[in-house]
Structure 1
Amino acid sequence: MRHAGGFLLATFICASTLVAGNSSKVIRAVRCDGQLAQDGLLHDWRWQAATPVSDFTQYYPDEGAAPTEHTSVRILFDDNALYVGVICYDSDPRGIVSQLTRRDRTAEADRFTVQIDSYHDHQTAFVFSTSVAGVQSDGFLAQDGTIYDLSYDAVWQVNTARHSEGWSAEFVIPYNAIRFSPQNSQQRTDSSLRGQQYEWGINFRRYISRKRETDEWVLVPSSERLLIDKWGHVDGIERIAPPLHLSIVPYVSATAEFATETSYRPRKSDLSENAGLDFKYGISRNFTLDAAINPDFGQVEVDQSILNLTVFETLYPEKRPFFVEGSQMFEFGNAVDNTPLNLFYSRRIGQIPLYSSYVASLPDVTVEENPRATTILGALKMTGQTESGFSLGLLASATDEENAVVRDHAGVKSTIRTEPRGTYNILRVKQQFGSSRLGGIATVAARNATFPAFSGGIDWNLRFEDGAYTLDGYLAGVHSSSSRRNPDGSAGRLLFSRIAAEHWYYTLSYNFFSANFNPNDLGYFAQPRYHGGYVQLLYRENKASGWLRRYSLSVVPETRWNWDDARTHAQIDATFSADWTNFWRSTLRFVLNDRAYDDAQRGINGLYLRPVSYGLQASLITDERKPVNISLTTDFKFDEKRKSSIGTLVGVTVRPTSWIELTPLFYLEKTTNEETGVFDFATRRIAADTLGRSLIADRDLADIEFAMRGIFTFTRTLSLQFYTQMLLPRGQYKNYRSLAATGQLIPYPSQDYDFNTISFQSNVLLRWEYLPGSTLYLVWTQSRDDFIDDYTIDFGPRFRDAFKLPHDDALLLKVSYWWGV
């Protein structure tokens, strides 16, 4: 083992030495004494002391060409902040596009971005961006710019102004908005530069909306993957000290919940108040501690409803700020194809109580209380990175016991425990070796003190030949609390890919998941536990030719087997994507699935042989610079057993003014004669006959979805956004058969597993950042759901029924105040 470890370390060191150096471009920062006048116009005379840089290059649409407009950038600094001043000259100032939207939401507008590698590790960077309207956006780049984490939120300021020469902006980036330490500096002996002088990586990016043009100070070609390593530098910053990094955000909230009376529950009206504290402290120059005392972890945006007719759990994105911020630190096993292994799924913490659905289904009782979320008692998180490239992430949280209250026909009330007390702990470490990385993770989830669940693993990303090649992979193991007989499982992956080239790219990947691999106590895994892999061959052309601006063609054969050597997946995927000179984009995709088996991993008792199937998908996105742009996707699917399916998704983005954006969406799907397992909504499993054999039938499915998303931005700190969605799927099963042990389908009497459902969700959010970092939220949510087993009722009546259904409403007012040094 010692020799193997030495070989692995030597491989990492060798990989890191094969990465080339960075750009020689330098911008010099000049110290600014006294209060700098900030009006967005750079009128303060001290700006003239800084030497500007203006040698930008086009990244898009004509990569490597000279920009069509001139840009000038200067940098000042003092003991507290970095000041970046930019003048975006424009030959047609009236053509500058300005769109008002809320913070951290990218609008189709002219904008300028500052990217700072203050760790100077050539792997990570802080990002600060503004639009012409002064709308701020910030984030954090990781893994040499290949991962962009928008959850990072700092307190900083920017002022913008439009004028006859174009527009300009003044960034004020306090040092507590970035991370650095004295080790990032160099001792200077020059008498004019006494003390330690810092050298940070830096790059600038300008976007000109009407031309769809992106210009960069240091151009990193689209054919390369190592981004931050190629950036330029800012020097001249001296005699500054890293700040304390302390912020405290107390909050108060009030929630009113209402539920209409139904046959199975009484009318509900409840008012609750809460108060708590979020705390962030830089415990060292490199590490930050986040703590939440009596946290309010209720999310303010509703989840999108999804029709799921599989035995696998639906994955929902995290929306709670405490868990969103820094979430990239806890990702495990992520490779260049962006398919991580989710050993940590933060929505397990504070999830719907495990047995709440069981209580809701109990006969002969009235459910008076049934908590919809588990109470989080507290949470701690520590993240950071040292100068040597060592990253550490720790997260610990505790949740309370939850109980439902039911009343029987005699009026006697009783409580049923739906969720035990729980603790959750995650440790994540990473070590950079140049542009390569080695990491490890360990998790513990203890809802039951007698049978805690564990998971752990190591992962790696090795870069070779100046980042042109990568060798990625992971090995992981779990000990699950849900299986006492076979609690242990394992998983692994190895991927080799050429990721930087002028035209030709390729990937070879193999992974496996043992039959008992189950990380879902604290992770998320919702796919069959098979082994297999794929090969991808990709050709990409980035130079314009005729009507085409860019295009790519890829072919991906993929095959997988279960652990009894039955082939469970055999697919060939061919995709052509194109960017056109009118800035439209289109994709054409063809998929062939050969015969393969469904087994117990997909809820089938035995082996069911799926037929050969074909799919064709075409999508088109019109010019997103326009006030109205359209996204259209159409799917055609059919197989050798008479299945036919068509699905169409139409989305429209409308910007009638500079402060309103509306996005209606319509989806229609019609499928007939799809031979498949019969899905039982009551158990969320494949139905079985009286002998336990899986039921197979021909399914007809019709689905209509309406959705509307919108935002009204009154000022850059005050916005109103809304989202509403109605999902109306219905399906019927016919020609029932049961699956024999031999794989033969035996005729079976018709059953009643038809479905006709309604899901109607609405959410309105008023957000006011009344002071930097301090926010007021006013949120209203409503949900209506219904299920019947009559397929024959058409969409029209069901649409009208949706507005008559019982509903759950919640009104939340939350005010937080940021204080920091």
Structure 2
Amino acid sequence: MPSSRALLCRAALLLLALAPVARAAVDGSLDEPEWAGAQILSDFLTTEPNTQATPEYLTEARIWTDAEGIHIGFINEHPALVPRQKPQTLRDQQADADSVTVLLDFEGNGKVAYEFTVSLGNSIEDAIVSDPGRFNQDWDGAWLHAVAEEPHRWTAELLIPWSVAPMAPAAEGQRKLGIFVSRQMRHAGRRWSYPAYDLERPTLVADLAPLTLQDFAASAFDLYPYVAASRDLVDDSNDARIGMDLFWKPDGLHQVSATLNPDFGQVESDDLVVNLTAIETFFSEKRPFFTENQALFDIRAPTKDLLVNTRRIGGAPDAGDAGASDILGALKYTGTTGAWDYGLFGATEDDTGDVQGRDYAVGRLRRRFEGGSFGWLGDFVNRPTLDRESQVQSVDADWSPRAGLSWRGQFIFSQARESGETVADTGGWLRFDYAPGGAWSHAISFTHYGDQFDTNDLGYLARNDLNRLDIDSSHSKYDFAPGSRLDVRTLGVLLKPARNDHGKALASNLETYIYWRLRDTSEFELAYTPTSRGVDDRITRGNNPVQLGWHHGVRVTHISRLMGRLRVTTIGRYRQEGVRGDNRSLYVAPTWYFTDRVNAEFEVLILANDAWLLWDGGNTVSDYATQWREGSMSLGAFIGSRHELRVKFQWAGIRADSTRSYEAQPGGKLVRDQDLTDDFTLSTLGIQVRYRYSLGPLSDLYAVYGRGGDIFREDDSGSFGGLLDDSLRERSAEQLLVKLRLHF
């Protein structure tokens, strides 16, 4: 019988032999005859800064369709003596580059749009966009792009296949969409857009311009097989995985997605996070199957909570010390009939040793009407190891009666049965956005979660037992005199009063800020943030709350102009913290463009905290005099059009000296405890070196080296340099991985 290594080699050879080729000649030149008869959008106005002025240089977008998809071309006037910025960057990495952006609402109902951005260096960003102005860059679509330069202009070409997203029914061979197109000239800090809205507009998707295109009946069947081989250098073991994602779109109204032994996104890495609080860290989704065709199920509260957090699927098992659970398979279906959208989504995990895998099921139904929609979403989760079953039922609605105005809301019921005990509660939220013009923007929301409300079996809920009002209001000025150094000045206020469901006032924030952007593209912001007296009812993990007094804070932010090939972001903070301490930090983040093909982002954080208040078990909390250091580097290098090298390094070190201990009383009062808890030292490190060879859109060959090191000691001795050395020596993880993923 062939060895696993032999099977892996044969699978790789087969996949390479079937490597895809581009389906269309997309070269950026716009010289095909179809461009001459294309629809033309040329009514661009200045939206960065949002003066609504006529652009200095001509920009034109042209659009036509055929059986392959939607062809969009940009003609950008750019005189030879005007600087052009064209660094190549990693996918979805925002950079100092001239670029063009398209937002398309394929269903034409103002609910969800898809972003496609191409820079002059032919780097790309794509995202799923939903109001209020939220760009989710987890999604990576399969689309084609190219740019071409001439002495007095540059052009960009995009081919967006019909299969890239769900679409509403076409009528009499015509398809109605919503569109937004813009061009950025980075060195001048200018963006020109049609329709003339800025990208931060809270009702951006609802306000896209209508567009009618000739429709082509198109079906699509996409396969994404992958094969991966890895070697664990810590326990000296090998592993091989083969799996596949499948996407079938029989027409524009229905889409089926399935996965077997799905890709776990091994070539991506989460940012290193040190979290010693009671609030769980949210990590975005990186696995392709779970980001594709997911917008219908993605409903997020003003507090950023969501009911379907696919990172739960395949997470750590419900017992034992394994880091992840294997997923046997998952299936997703979405469809549209008339004004109705509907979807089903399910996944099942394999058993991990003696721990049984979990099962997940989600249903979604939505009814669209003029200017709005209402819908239902429900989920069911079975966790046999815990003898736990949970369900969540919700109804949601949104309404945008006119441009710049929208209402959204959701009512949620949660229920869980564990070991014969049943717990149920309700939650919900309501949000109002109003952007009457280019100057004012207002958002008001109210959130209520009962003290037994729980959606974390599949969703992400930062905390329950909450009643919070959020008010966000700002005014911007753009009409400065021609000789002024200012482009934009914004005054804003954010107010977040909150109480728990037992009537106790929580610490509530008020932030007032003033922001300036200068004509040389540099930015400056000054913010003052007082925090009211209130209880922290989460720090002791369900024991007595902790009463805290008024705190005050100041934040100063400066983003430099591009100085040659260098731009630097600097943030200085001071805030009162804990019982009676001060927190001071300095964050510096330079971005250096060595050449247009090589760039690096650096981050350094230096923090000193006199009284970092942490839980030490039961009702005991302690102040720690803390020194905190963080450093990171991300290097991107591009060799030709297909080769990419990324080096990512992150490290964090903490030295904490226990100075006071307290016992939290039932009402929240802290009583001094003479027994000090232990000091501690923490150091954590993450390194990844990744090479990618591009075979085509979403078809790649990867070679990845990853390493991690974690140190925890109950003392605060040693230098930060010594902590870094220890993390490098004492490996918690080290792996080599080769992976091939193809798109057919």
Instruction: Assess same fold via TM > 0.5.
Output: yes
Question: Where does residue 651 of structure 1 map in the other structure?
Answer: 589
Which amino acid letter does the alignment assign opposite residue 324 of structure 2? A
Distance 1:300 1:69, change over 3 A: same
| Structure 1 residue 248 corresponds to structure 2 residue 223 | yes
Q: Deviations over 1:637-670 (max 9, x none)?
A: 1269541120111111111100111011111111
Q: Report the Cα offset of residue 225 of structure 1.
A: 4.7
Which amino acid letter does the alignment assign opposite residue 153 of structure 2? G
SS class of match (1:322): helix
Kept in 1: contact 2:539–2:615 (CA 8 A):
no
Distance 1:739 1:36, change over 3 A: closer
Q: Report the Cα offset of residue 484 of structure 1.
A: 5.6
| Structure 1 residue 83 corresponds to structure 2 residue 71 | yes
Distance 1:537 1:51, change over 3 A: closer
| Structure 1 residue 566 corresponds to structure 2 residue 504 | yes
SS class of match (1:583): coil
| TM-score, structure 2 normalization | 0.89
Which amino acid letter does the alignment assign opposite residue 696 of structure 1? V
CA distance in 2, matches of 1:516, 1:665: 40
Question: Where does residue 459 of structure 1 map in the other structure?
Answer: 396
Question: Where does residue 52 of structure 2 map in the other structure?
Answer: 64
Question: Where does residue 158 of structure 2 map in the other structure?
Answer: 171
CA distance in 2, matches of 1:314, 1:711: 27
SS class of match (1:634): strand
Of 791, 802, 817, which aligns to 2:716?
Answer: 791
Kept in 1: contact 2:138–2:286 (CA 8 A):
no
CA distance in 2, matches of 1:580, 1:218: 24
CA distance in 2, matches of 1:781, 1:510: 43
CA distance in 1, matches of 2:412, 2:463: 16
CA distance in 1, matches of 2:250, 2:494: 48
Kept in 1: contact 2:548–2:578 (CA 8 A):
no
Distance 1:383 1:63, change over 3 A: farther
Q: Deviations over 1:574-630 (max 9, x none)?
A: 222222222112222212223212336752633432122111111111125852111
Q: Deviations over 1:754-794 (max 9, x none)?
A: 21011011112212221333211211111111110111333
Larger radius of gyration: 1
SS class of match (1:516): coil
Question: Where does residue 341 of structure 2 map in the other structure?
Answer: 391
| Structure 1 residue 518 corresponds to structure 2 residue 454 | yes
CA distance in 1, matches of 2:623, 2:174: 72
Kept in 2: contact 1:63–1:221 (CA 8 A):
no
Which stretch shifts more, 757-766 or 523-532? Answer: 523-532
Question: Where does residue 85 of structure 2 map in the other structure?
Answer: 97
Q: Report the Cα offset of residue 125 of structure 1.
A: 3.9
Question: Where does residue 20 of structure 2 map in the other structure?
Answer: none
Kept in 1: contact 2:507–2:548 (CA 8 A):
no
State the number of aligned residues.
719
Question: Where does residue 679 of structure 1 map in the other structure?
Answer: 615
| Structure 1 residue 704 corresponds to structure 2 residue 690 | no
- Taking only the aligned residue pairs, the percentage that are identical comes to 22
SS class of match (2:497): strand
| Structure 1 residue 738 corresponds to structure 2 residue 663 | yes
CA distance in 2, matches of 1:639, 1:288: 51
Equivalent residues in 2 for 1:393-472, closer than 5 Å:
393-403=343-353, 417=354, 419-448=355-384, 450-464=387-401, 466-472=402-408
SS class of match (1:786): strand
Kept in 2: contact 1:632–1:649 (CA 8 A):
yes
Distance 1:593 1:604, change over 3 A: farther
| Structure 1 residue 299 corresponds to structure 2 residue 266 | yes
Question: Where does residue 209 of structure 1 map in the other structure?
Answer: 186
CA distance in 1, matches of 2:265, 2:468: 40
Give the CA RMSD over aligned residues: 2.9
Which amino acid letter does the alignment assign opposite residue 343 of structure 1? L
Q: Report the Cα offset of residue 745 of structure 1.
A: 4.0
Q: Report the Cα offset of residue 446 of structure 1.
A: 0.5
Q: Report the Cα offset of residue 527 of structure 1.
A: 2.5
Question: Where does residue 285 of structure 1 map in the other structure?
Answer: 252
Q: Report the Cα offset of residue 59 of structure 1.
A: 1.9
CA distance in 2, matches of 1:597, 1:214: 45
Kept in 2: contact 1:82–1:172 (CA 8 A):
yes
Of 295, 307, 315, which aligns to 1:351?
Answer: 315
Which amino acid letter does the alignment assign opposite residue 345 of structure 1? N
SS class of match (2:601): strand
Kept in 1: contact 2:568–2:590 (CA 8 A):
yes
Kept in 2: contact 1:477–1:488 (CA 8 A):
yes
Which stretch shifts more, 298-307 or 510-519? Answer: 298-307
Unaligned runs of 5+ in 2: 1-22
| TM-score, structure 1 normalization | 0.81
SS class of match (2:543): coil
Kept in 1: contact 2:636–2:646 (CA 8 A):
yes
Question: Where does residue 25 of structure 1 map in the other structure?
Answer: none
Which amino acid letter does the alignment assign opposite residue 159 of structure 2? V
Kept in 2: contact 1:473–1:492 (CA 8 A):
yes
Equivalent residues in 2 for 1:706-721, closer than 5 Å:
706-721=631-646
SS class of match (1:319): coil
Question: Where does residue 306 of structure 2 map in the other structure?
Answer: 342
Distance 1:277 1:236, change over 3 A: closer
| Structure 1 residue 129 corresponds to structure 2 residue 113 | no
| Structure 1 residue 157 corresponds to structure 2 residue 144 | yes
SS class of match (1:569): coil
Q: Report the Cα offset of residue 147 of structure 1.
A: 3.8
Of 308, 325, 348, which aligns to 1:374?
Answer: 325
Which amino acid letter does the alignment assign opposite residue 171 of structure 2? S
CA distance in 1, matches of 2:706, 2:730: 15
Unaligned runs of 5+ in 1: 1-34, 187-195, 260-267, 358-370, 404-416, 681-686, 689-693
Which stretch shifts more, 625-634 or 227-236? Answer: 227-236
Q: Report the Cα offset of residue 343 of structure 1.
A: 2.0
Q: Deviations over 1:404-446 (max 9, x none)?
A: xxxxxxxxxxxxx3x3221111123333323323232111111
Which amino acid letter does the alignment assign opposite residue 301 of structure 1? E
Distance 1:461 1:293, change over 3 A: same
CA distance in 2, matches of 1:811, 1:777: 11
Distance 1:716 1:385, change over 3 A: farther
Kept in 1: contact 2:703–2:739 (CA 8 A):
yes
Distance 1:169 1:270, change over 3 A: same
Which amino acid letter does the alignment assign opposite residue 360 of structure 2? Y
Which amino acid letter does the alignment assign opposite residue 271 of structure 1? N
Which amino acid letter does the alignment assign opposite residue 727 of structure 2? A
Which stretch shifts more, 44-53 or 579-588? Answer: 44-53
Q: Report the Cα offset of residue 178 of structure 1.
A: 5.4
Q: Deviations over 1:155-175 (max 9, x none)?
A: 433332212222223433443
CA distance in 1, matches of 2:666, 2:164: 63
| Structure 1 residue 544 corresponds to structure 2 residue 531 | no
Question: Where does residue 273 of structure 1 map in the other structure?
Answer: 240
SS class of match (2:223): strand
CA distance in 2, matches of 1:87, 1:293: 43
CA distance in 2, matches of 1:555, 1:654: 33
Kept in 2: contact 1:93–1:164 (CA 8 A):
no
Question: Where does residue 727 of structure 2 map in the other structure?
Answer: 802
Of 408, 413, 418, which aligns to 1:477?
Answer: 413
Distance 1:67 1:502, change over 3 A: closer
Q: Report the Cα offset of residue 811 of structure 1.
A: 1.4
CA distance in 1, matches of 2:288, 2:327: 14
SS class of match (1:495): strand
Distance 1:536 1:253, change over 3 A: closer
CA distance in 2, matches of 1:667, 1:566: 35
Which amino acid letter does the alignment assign opposite residue 95 of structure 1? P
Question: Where does residue 621 of structure 1 map in the other structure?
Answer: 559
CA distance in 2, matches of 1:317, 1:613: 31
Kept in 1: contact 2:26–2:146 (CA 8 A):
yes
| Structure 1 residue 764 corresponds to structure 2 residue 721 | no
